[in-house]
Amino acid sequence: MPGARDDFPVARVAALARLRLSPSETDLFQAQLAQVIAFVGQLTDAAIGDADPDWPGRSAAPGGRPDEVAPSLPPDAALGNAPDALESPRLVRVPKVIG
C-alpha cells in the first residue's frame, strides 16, 4: 500500500495527551495503529465498480416536505421547564459533569 508506515509518533501523542506509556505499551499501540491504517488503506483501495457516488441520492425522499420558514420557539417557552434558567441573559445553567 502506498504511504504505509509504522513510525507513528505514539510516544509524542501520548505526551501531548499527558499519558504515561511504558515501552511495551508504546510498541503495542504502534502496532495497533499500523493495523488500523492498513485496514483503512484496504477500504480506500476497494473497487466500487459502477456504484452511484450520490447514492442514496441528494434529493428529498418521496413524500418529503419542502423547507419552509416558520417562527421559532419564544425564549420563555424554550426555558419554561429549565430547572436553573437565568433571566438575563436568557441561558440555562447545567451541573458540571467533568471535574
Residue 41 lies in a domain: yes
- Our count of domains for the chain comes to 1
**20 pLDDT higher than 70:** yes
Domain contains 33? yes
Going by C-alpha positions, the residue among 6, 48, 47 that lies closest to residue 26 is 6
Please report whether residue 3 resides in a domain: no
Angle at 54 between CA 52 and CA 55, to 5 degrees: 70
- Domain that includes residue 36, residue range: 10-45
pTM, rounded to two decimals? 0.43
**pLDDT for position 63:** 63
Inside any domain, residue 4: no
**How is 72-95 classified by DSSP, letter by letter?**
PPPHHHHSTT-TTEETTTTEE---
Task: Convert 33-60 to b/e letters by CB count within 10 Å (16 or more is b).
Answer: eeeeeeeeeeeeeeeeeeeeeeeeeeee
Residue 44's pLDDT is what? 77
Answer yes or no: is 31 within a domain.
yes
Q: Is residue 85 part of a domain?
A: no
Q: Flag whether pLDDT at 45 surpasses 70.
A: yes
